[in-house]
């Protein structure tokens, strides 16, 4: 109430001043205490947080990509290893005169416009110390030309890194897969700064992808102190990388390469399994791609070339190719028949076919009176029609499944299509139709609804040969491999029939092993690609020809190796598939003899796989299409 | 017993000790901020301090009458300089503050911080006591504060404008103007904040917004505050050690030798160094407040109180800024930051307060 206050005097003013000066002083002191408290809060309570932020300002970590673990075969031979790769990167923060440096690089390394565009694009997207790749896999001469000019090109970081190397190239393409630089999606998922470090590759396919956690190793690091403007003040510490672990496969590298080469210009797959333990010794699908090309970052035109090839080099036919197995299923049918009480010595007369109602199912010959082993040897359809009509396919399908057909195996890194072993329940579910006798007749000769992949055929053969339920494996995993619930007699009939196919008067006598004392048992199969009656499948356009199949094991006594070979559109098992199996089975027992045979073949085909691929690619690039109708090796 | 000559006794040794302690500590920090070099900052700052200290001691010998007599003339002169800046001054750091005098760059707004206090003190010293609660006690003061504050805001320099206002308002408050005027003005001011905010320049608005949420722009304008807090916080209690501050030496801390010198210091000397510096400032302000309370004349009382506030405002705003409690307004830390203008202002303040102290020792108290 200012108006009613006493008259204002100098004394009152003096007292008021003192009071108010103390108020102001007190307020100042209070602010001072608050500031002290605030500082104490920042530097004591929040100390940890700010120390961390200060360190992350100060210290910059450069990752050194780890060397990838090797993939080796059963004898320790490398299927995938690392080679020294000379590379040049740009550290954006240290690049002060961008145009000058890029111009020099362009001249020295002869970079083309595409490469310069990519570098400029990467530089724009990169931040700070994130290196941008300029060139990989440089020659020593190129590398040296950069090294001597290093002082005039700040921001350039030459590096002796490692790149993935596949010594046998295309032979292991589908088996091993390949590596590649991680894409944006993979980086988002992993959130690992290593993923955007140039030179770092991750497994993209096959075993490289499956064993990525084992193979990747631990990155090394280089810690440096940097200023806010990115100038390196000093090195703090360097930690070496830890190489990834080695993956040991059951594969036999030499056999793998031999089989791949022996496939020649054909399209197909071949699998070899050890009959004693289920080890997969060879796992080939041809034609293939060169994983070295993929791992270095495949060019667009090379990829288009692979995609355009009608032999489908990008598909792993050993697990992803489904084929009607044809007559290769007859030994299995024989086992099923004996198990259901058929006497193997019981004879059926082949009159060139089998009459079912008003339909006549044709045989490939007129075999007369045959018993079971002879029917397998001659691949007599009539005999098996007769069995199938008598027992029904529902009696055989469980045997097929016990032998591994229609099964998807737990196999490292493989992506399988497991096909169909039909029975009445399957047909009812799928087509809502009753199973008919003619369905059984078609199924027993491996046509109709039946489809399998080459791996399943090889497993079936290994199981027939060993009498045990072998489980295929690529790495050393333990399986029980218990005996099959079949009578020794049933298995013996199947094996005897298969022995006769090659060593008796059967369909594959020309593929007898050229060895003393070691024989191979087998069964050919020819699977029709087009329906019956629309051409004979023995000539004409490549893609309408019959598939050639062969299953076999050797030696006949105490079998050691089992195999299945599929040659797409090979026109017949005996003609296309059995000779391939004969050669690589020979290789397992007598390498020199087999190599001689192979070298003769390769001379006729125009060189090794790599030479042929290089030539085909060059021809394709220059506009001339490669031969779509390769010759059948004979 | 040693006889100390009167001439020596008259020299304010304690004050010199406090000022030298603050500046000397500042020199160490400047030495470190230059990467362990006396140049370019520490040596120059030291020489400048010696010159300005001498000036302050000389000013302190002046009879107080002189300041009172020349206060209006000085005020009008500085006001003319401020208008000249508006017309002739050159632009630096986003605003127009400096007059180039040939041998130095003069920042008249710094001078105004002192002259506004002295001029208002004279006005209230001459005001008859009975008019203290009347309108005649108010409007001339508001005009005297408003004119220079508006001119400085035009430059634009929010920090200095605020400093001028606060110095003037504290003189008005100490002069005994009714309490409720200040209370209601404060409430009205708070209510008008959004309106005032809209008058600010874009870059000033941005600073205020970023101050409210520094992490929203850690690499842009919030960078200053973030890096400053990192420097202070990472120092901890004992600091990283002399010459070992990574934030300042590796250039993460911007303006580490001027506005953000406190952060540079705190990184290397820690909380202990910070509290020590705060204590030294406390001693300085305690001395000036005591001078105000013991002043012999009313002019002396009001001037000392106002100048104390001016010095305090520097310190408080600067420290609040580096600790993330205030927007980045560009006010240096007195005696500590590298720079001539602010040291000149502070030492002038100190000199005038010293003159008031000397005056109070020479005669009886009189109020007129």
**A483 in B contact zone (CB under 8 Å):** no
Q: Are residues A228 and A349 in the same domain?
A: no
Q: Are residues A83 and A211 in the same domain?
A: yes
SS (H, E, C) A591-609: HHHHHHHHHHHHHHHCCCH
Q: Distance, in angstroms, between A227 CA and closest chain B CA?
A: 4
Residue A189 neighbours by CB distance under 10 Å: 10
Q: Give the domain extent around B345.
A: 12-361
**B291 in A contact zone (CB under 8 Å):** no
CATH at residue A366: 3.40.710.10
Beta pairing, strands A359-362 & A179-180? unpaired
Please indicate, yes or no, if residue B278 is contained in any of the structural domains.
yes
Domain boundary among A220, A248, A276: A248
Per-residue model confidence (pLDDT) at position A620: 86
**A14 in B contact zone (CB under 8 Å):** yes
Please indicate, yes or no, if residue A36 is contained in any of the structural domains.
no
Q: Do A46 and B233 touch (CB under 8 A)?
A: yes
Helix (H, G, I), strand (E, B) or coil at A449: coil
Q: Do A50 and B301 touch (CB under 8 A)?
A: no
CA distances in angstroms from A509 to A367, A371, A478, B204, listed in the order given: 17, 19, 37, 96
What does the alpha-carbon distance between residue A138 and residue A460 come to, in Å, rounded to a whole number? 48
CA distances in angstroms from A293 to A180, A208, A435, listed in the order given: 10, 15, 50
Return the structure tokens found at A240: 């070496």
Q: Is the Cβ–Cβ distance between A20 and B176 less than 8 Å?
A: yes
- Neighbouring-strand partners of residue A565: A270, A550
**B270 in A contact zone (CB under 8 Å):** yes
SS (H, E, C) chain B: CCCCCHHHHCCCHHHHHHHHHHHHHHHHHHHHHCCCCCCCCHHHHHHHHHHHHHHHHHHHHCCHHHHHHHHHHHHHHHHHHHHHHHHHCEEECCEEEEEECCCCEECHHHHHHHHHHHHHHHHHHHCCHHHCCCHHHCHHHHHHHHHHHHHHHHCCCHHHHHHHHHHHHHHHHHCCCCHHHHHHHHHHHHHHHHHHHHHCCHHHHHHHHHHHCHHHCCCCCCHHHHHHHHHHHHHCCCCCCCCCCHHHHCCCCCCCCCCCHHHHHHHHHHHHHHHHHHHHHHHHHHHHHHHHHHCCCHHHHHHHHHHHHHHHHHHHHHHHHHCCCCCCCCCCCCCCCCCHHHHHHHHHHHHHHHHHHHHHHHCCCCCC
Please indicate, yes or no, if residue B1 is contained in any of the structural domains.
no
**B223 in A contact zone (CB under 8 Å):** no
Farthest-apart Cα atoms in chain B, separation: 68
**C-alpha A460: how far from its chain's center?**
23
Q: Are residues A192 and A337 in the same domain?
A: no
What residues contact residue B169 under an 8 Å CB cut-off, 6+ apart?
B145, B182
What does the alpha-carbon distance between residue B110 and residue B314 come to, in Å, rounded to a whole number? 11
Please indicate, yes or no, if residue B193 is contained in any of the structural domains.
yes
10 Å CB burial of residue B134 (0-12, 13-18, 19+) is middle
Among candidates B250, B298, B301 on the partner chain, residue whose Cβ is nearest the Cβ of A226: B250
Please indicate, yes or no, if residue A605 is contained in any of the structural domains.
no
Task: Render each residue's pLDDT in chain B as its tens digit; 368 residues.
Answer: 677 788 787 889 999 999 999 999 999 999 999 988 898 899 999 999 999 999 999 999 999 999 999 999 999 999 998 888 888 766 555 556 677 665 566 788 888 999 999 999 999 999 888 888 888 888 999 999 999 999 988 877 888 888 999 999 999 999 988 888 888 888 888 888 888 778 777 777 777 776 666 666 555 557 888 889 999 999 999 999 998 888 888 888 888 888 899 999 999 999 999 999 999 999 999 999 999 999 989 999 999 999 999 999 999 999 998 998 887 777 889 999 998 888 989 999 999 999 999 998 876 655 54
Kindly report the length of chain A: 634
Backbone angles phi, psi at A43, to 5 degrees: -90, -10
Q: Do B271 and A8 touch (CB under 8 A)?
A: no
Q: What percent of chain B has pLDDT over 90?
A: 53
Beta pairing, strands A71-72 & A247-248? parallel
Q: Distance, in angstroms, between B247 CA and closest chain A CA?
A: 7
CA distances in angstroms from A38 to A12, A285, B247, B256, B319, listed in the order given: 39, 71, 20, 20, 10
Dihedral sign for Cα atoms in the order A524, A530, A535, A541: negative
User: Which residues in chain B have Cβ-Cβ distances shorter than 8 Å to A44?
Assistant: 236-237, 271
| Helix (H) or strand (E) segment spanning residue A144 | helix A140-148
Which residue bears the tokens 């007898």? A512
Please indicate, yes or no, if residue A422 is contained in any of the structural domains.
yes
Q: Do A35 and B320 touch (CB under 8 A)?
A: yes
Q: Do B233 and A43 touch (CB under 8 A)?
A: yes
What does the alpha-carbon distance between residue A415 and residue A420 come to, in Å, rounded to a whole number? 16
**B280 in A contact zone (CB under 8 Å):** no
Q: Are residues A212 and A125 in the same domain?
A: yes
Q: Is the Cβ–Cβ distance between B125 and B68 less than 8 Å?
A: yes
User: Which residues in chain A have Cβ-Cβ distances shorter than 8 Å to B125?
Assistant: none
ipTM: 0.92
User: Which residues in chain B have Cβ-Cβ distances shorter than 8 Å to A42?
Assistant: 229, 232-233, 323-324
Please indicate, yes or no, if residue A609 is contained in any of the structural domains.
no
Interface test with A, best of B36, B130, B250 (most A CBs within 10 A): B250
Q: Do B174 and A20 touch (CB under 8 A)?
A: yes
Among candidates A13, A38, A53 on the partner chain, residue whose Cβ is nearest the Cβ of B323: A38
What does the alpha-carbon distance between residue A398 and residue B97 come to, in Å, rounded to a whole number? 97
What residues contact residue A468 under an 8 Å CB cut-off, 6+ apart?
A481, A482, A483, A484
What does the alpha-carbon distance between residue A548 and residue A566 come to, in Å, rounded to a whole number? 6
Residue of chain B whose Cα is closest to the Cα of A33: B278
What does the alpha-carbon distance between residue A407 and residue B102 come to, in Å, rounded to a whole number? 95
**A16 in B contact zone (CB under 8 Å):** yes
In the A/B pair of chains, how many CB contacts fall below 8 A? 147
Please indicate, yes or no, if residue B293 is contained in any of the structural domains.
yes
Among candidates B170, B246, B293 on the partner chain, residue whose Cβ is nearest the Cβ of A18: B293
Q: Are residues A443 and A565 in the same domain?
A: yes
- Neighbouring-strand partners of residue A525: A549
Q: Are residues A229 and A371 in the same domain?
A: no
What residues contact residue A533 under an 8 Å CB cut-off, 6+ apart?
none
Question: Which A residues, 55 through 114, put their C-beta within 8 Å of a C-beta on chain B?
Answer: 55, 57-58
Among candidates B235, B292, B367 on the partner chain, residue whose Cβ is nearest the Cβ of A14: B367
Q: Looking at the 3D structure of chain B, how many domains does it have? A: 1
A145: alpha, beta or left? (left if phi > 0; alpha if psi -120 to 50)? alpha
Q: A36: closest CA among B232, B362, B62, B148? A: B232
Per-residue model confidence (pLDDT) at position A302: 82
User: Which residues in chain A have Cβ-Cβ distances shorter than 8 Å to B271?
Assistant: 39-40, 43-44
Which residue bears the tokens 């100098």? A10
**C-alpha A179: how far from its chain's center?**
10
| Helix (H) or strand (E) segment spanning residue A226 | strand A220-226
pLDDT mean values, one per 10 residues, chain A (634 residues): 62 88 94 95 92 85 86 93 87 77 85 81 71 82 84 79 88 90 82 80 90 90 77 80 92 94 92 94 92 80 85 90 93 94 92 91 90 94 93 93 92 87 93 92 92 95 94 90 92 94 91 91 88 60 88 93 94 90 94 92 89 88 56 40
Helix (H, G, I), strand (E, B) or coil at A194: helix
Domain boundary among A590, A610, A627: A590
Q: Distance, in angstroms, between A229 CA and closest chain B CA?
A: 8
Please indicate, yes or no, if residue A214 is contained in any of the structural domains.
yes
Q: Distance, in angstroms, between A611 CA and closest chain B CA?
A: 56
Please indicate, yes or no, if residue A187 is contained in any of the structural domains.
yes
Dihedral sign for Cα atoms in the order B59, B60, B65, B68: positive
Backbone angles phi, psi at B158, to 5 degrees: -60, -45
**C-alpha A454: how far from its chain's center?**
16
Q: Do B133 and A2 touch (CB under 8 A)?
A: yes
Q: Are residues A243 and A345 in the same domain?
A: no
Please indicate, yes or no, if residue A352 is contained in any of the structural domains.
yes
Which residue bears the tokens 């692979």? A306
Q: Do A57 and B266 touch (CB under 8 A)?
A: no
Q: Do B231 and A54 touch (CB under 8 A)?
A: yes
10 Å CB burial of residue B139 (0-12, 13-18, 19+) is exposed
Q: Do B176 and A7 touch (CB under 8 A)?
A: no
**B305 in A contact zone (CB under 8 Å):** yes
Please indicate, yes or no, if residue B55 is contained in any of the structural domains.
yes
Q: Are residues A225 and A370 in the same domain?
A: no
Return the structure tokens found at B292: 């105000």
Domain boundary among A248, A267, A287: A248
Q: Is the Cβ–Cβ distance between A378 and A500 less than 8 Å?
A: no
- Neighbouring-strand partners of residue A179: A203
Q: Looking at the 3D structure of chain A, how many domains does it have? A: 2
Question: Which B residues, 228 through 247, put their C-beta within 8 Å of a C-beta on chain A?
Answer: 229-237, 246-247
User: Which residues in chain A have Cβ-Cβ distances shorter than 8 Å to B237?
Assistant: 43-44, 47
Return the structure tokens found at B120: 């208002």
Q: Distance, in angstroms, between A306 CA and closest chain B CA?
A: 48
Q: Which of the 8 DSSP states describes residue A7?
A: P
What does the alpha-carbon distance between residue A344 and residue A372 come to, in Å, rounded to a whole number? 5
The three-point CA angle A601-A602-A604 to 5° equals 70
Please indicate, yes or no, if residue B204 is contained in any of the structural domains.
yes
**B309 in A contact zone (CB under 8 Å):** yes
What does the alpha-carbon distance between residue B359 and residue B368 come to, in Å, rounded to a whole number? 15
User: Which residues in chain A have Cβ-Cβ distances shorter than 8 Å to B368?
Assistant: 10
Please indicate, yes or no, if residue B3 is contained in any of the structural domains.
no
Q: Do B174 and A21 touch (CB under 8 A)?
A: yes
What does the alpha-carbon distance between residue A281 and residue A73 come to, in Å, rounded to a whole number? 9
Backbone angles phi, psi at A610, to 5 degrees: -65, -45
Quick check: bond before B156 cis, omega within 30? yes
CATH at residue A178: 3.90.1310.10
10 Å CB burial of residue A448 (0-12, 13-18, 19+) is middle
Q: Which of the 8 DSSP states describes residue A483?
A: B
Q: Do A28 and B250 touch (CB under 8 A)?
A: no
Please indicate, yes or no, if residue B167 is contained in any of the structural domains.
yes
Q: Give the domain extent around A236.
A: 60-248
Q: Do A43 and B274 touch (CB under 8 A)?
A: yes
Buried b (16+ CB within 10 A) or exposed e, A428-438: eeeeeeebeeb
- Neighbouring-strand partners of residue A135: A88
Please indicate, yes or no, if residue A401 is contained in any of the structural domains.
yes
Residue of chain A whose Cα is closest to the Cα of B252: A228
Q: Is the Cβ–Cβ distance between B353 and B308 less than 8 Å?
A: yes
């Amino acid at each position: 109430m200012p108006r009613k206050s006493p008259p204002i005097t100098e004394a009152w003013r003096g007292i008021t001043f003192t009071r108010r000066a103390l108020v102001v002083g007190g307020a100042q002191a209070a602010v001072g205490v608050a500031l002290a408290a605030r500082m104490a809060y920042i530097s004591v309570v929040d100390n940890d947080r700010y120390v961390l932020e200060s360190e992350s300002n100060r210290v910059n970590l450069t990752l050194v990509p780890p060397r990838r673990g090797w993939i080796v075969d059963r004898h320790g031979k490398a299927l995938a290893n690392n080679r020294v790769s000379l590379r040049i990167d740009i550290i954006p923060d240290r690049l002060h005169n961008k145009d000058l440096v890029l111009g020099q690089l362009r001249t020295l390394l002869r970079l083309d416009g595409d490469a310069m565009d990519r570098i400029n694009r990467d530089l724009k997207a990169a931040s700070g110390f994130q290196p941008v790749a300029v060139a990989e896999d440089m020659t020593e001469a190129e590398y040296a030309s950069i090294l001597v000019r290093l002082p005039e090109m700040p921001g350039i970081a030459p590096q002796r890194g490692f790149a993935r190397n596949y010594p046998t190239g295309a032979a292991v393409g589908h088996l091993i897969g390949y590596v590649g630089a991680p894409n944006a999606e993979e980086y988002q998922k992993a959130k690992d700064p290593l993923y955007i470090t140039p030179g770092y590759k991750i497994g993209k396919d096959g075993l490289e992808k499956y064993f990525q956690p084992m193979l990747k190793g631990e990155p090394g690091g280089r810690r440096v102190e940097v200023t806010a403007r990115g100038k390196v003040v000093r090195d703090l510490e360097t930690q070496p990388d830890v190489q990834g672990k080695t993956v040991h496969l059951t594969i036999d590298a030499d056999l793998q390469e031999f089989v791949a080469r022996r496939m020649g210009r054909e399209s197909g797959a071949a699998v070899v399994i050890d009959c004693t333990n289920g080890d997969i010794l060879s796992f080939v699908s041809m034609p293939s791609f060169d994983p070295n090309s993929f791992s270095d970052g495949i060019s667009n035109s090379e990829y288009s070339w692979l995609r355009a090839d009608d032999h489908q080099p990008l598909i792993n036919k050993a697990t992803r190719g489904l084929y009607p197995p044809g007559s290769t299923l007859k030994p299995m049918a024989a086992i099923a028949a004996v198990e259901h009480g058929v006497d193997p010595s019981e004879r059926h007369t082949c009159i060139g076919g089998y009459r079912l109602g008003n339909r006549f199912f044709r045989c490939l010959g007129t075999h007369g009176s045959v018993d079971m082993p002879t029917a397998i040897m001659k691949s007599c359809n009539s005999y098996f029609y007769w069995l199938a009509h008598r027992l029904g396919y529902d009696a055989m399908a469980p045997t097929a499944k016990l032998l591994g057909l229609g099964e998807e195996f737990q196999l490292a890194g493989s992506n399988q299509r497991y096909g169909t072993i039909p029975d009445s329940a399957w047909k009812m579910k799928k087509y809502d139709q009753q199973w008919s006798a003619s369905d059984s007749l078609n199924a027993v000769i491996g046509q109709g609804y039946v489809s399998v992949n080459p791996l399943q055929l090889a497993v079936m053969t290994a199981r027939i040969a060993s009498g045990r339920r072998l489980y295929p494996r690529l790495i050393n995993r333990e399986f029980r491999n218990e005996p099959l619930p079949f009578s020794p007699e049933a298995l013996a009939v199947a094996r005897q029939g298969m022995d006769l196919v090659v060593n008796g008067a059967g369909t594959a006598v020309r593929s007898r092993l050229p060895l003393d004392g070691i024989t191979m048992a087998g069964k050919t199969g020819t699977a029709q690609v087009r329906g019956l009656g629309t051409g004979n499948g023995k000539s004409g356009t490549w893609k309408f020809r019959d598939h050639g199949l062969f299953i076999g094991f050797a030696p006949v006594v105490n079998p050691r190796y089992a195999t299945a070979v599929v040659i797409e559109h090979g026109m017949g098992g005996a003609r296309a598939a059995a000779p391939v199996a004969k050669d690589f089975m020979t290789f397992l027992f007598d390498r020199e003899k087999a190599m001689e045979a192979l070298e003769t073949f390769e001379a006729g085909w125009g060189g090794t796989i790599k030479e042929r691929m290089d030539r085909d690619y060059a021809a394709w690039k220059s506009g001339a299409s490669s031969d779509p109708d390769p010759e059948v090796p004979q | 017993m040693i006889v100390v000559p009167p001439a020596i006794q008259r020299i304010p040794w304690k004050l010199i000790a406090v000022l030298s302690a603050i500046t000397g500590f500042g020199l160490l920090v400047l030495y470190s901020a230059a990467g362990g070099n006396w140049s370019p900052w520490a040596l120059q700052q030291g020489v400048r301090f010696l010159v300005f200290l001498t000036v302050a001691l000389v000013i302190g010998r002046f009879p107080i009458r002189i300041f009172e007599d020349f206060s209006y003339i000085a005020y009008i002169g500085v006001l003319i300089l401020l208008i000249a800046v508006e017309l002739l001054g050159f632009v630096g750091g986003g605003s127009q503050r400096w007059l180039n005098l040939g041998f130095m760059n003069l920042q008249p707004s710094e001078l105004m911080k002192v002259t506004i206090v002295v001029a208002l003190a004279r006005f209230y010293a001459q005001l008859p006591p009975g008019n203290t609660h009347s309108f005649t006690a108010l409007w001339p003061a508001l005009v005297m504060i408003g004119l220079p504050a508006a001119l400085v805001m035009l430059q634009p320099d929010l920090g200095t404008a605020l400093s001028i206002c606060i110095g003037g308002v504290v003189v008005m408050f100490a002069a005994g103007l009714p309490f409720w005027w200040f209370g209601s003005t404060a409430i009205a001011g708070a209510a008008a904040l959004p309106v005032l905010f809209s008058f600010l320049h874009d870059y000033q608005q941005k600073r205020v917004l970023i101050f409210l949420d520094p992490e929203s722009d850690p690499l842009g304008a919030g960078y200053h505050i973030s890096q400053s807090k990192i420097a202070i916080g990472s120092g901890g209690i004992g600091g990283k050690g002399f010459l070992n501050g990574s934030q300042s030496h590796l250039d993460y801390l911007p303006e580490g030798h001027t506005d953000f010198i406190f952060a540079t210091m705190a990184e290397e000397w820690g909380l202990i160094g910070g509290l020590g510096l705060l204590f030294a400032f406390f001693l300085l302000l305690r001395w000036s407040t005591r001078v105000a309370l013991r002043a012999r004349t009313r002019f002396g009382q009001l001037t000392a109180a106002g100048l104390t506030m001016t010095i305090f405002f520097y310190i408080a705003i600067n420290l609040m800024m580096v600790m993330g409690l205030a927007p980045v307004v560009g006010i240096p830390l007195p005696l500590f930051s590298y720079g001539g203008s602010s040291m000149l202002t502070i030492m002038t303040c100190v000199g005038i307060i010293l003159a008031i102290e000397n005056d109070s020792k020479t005669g009886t108290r009189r109020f007129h």
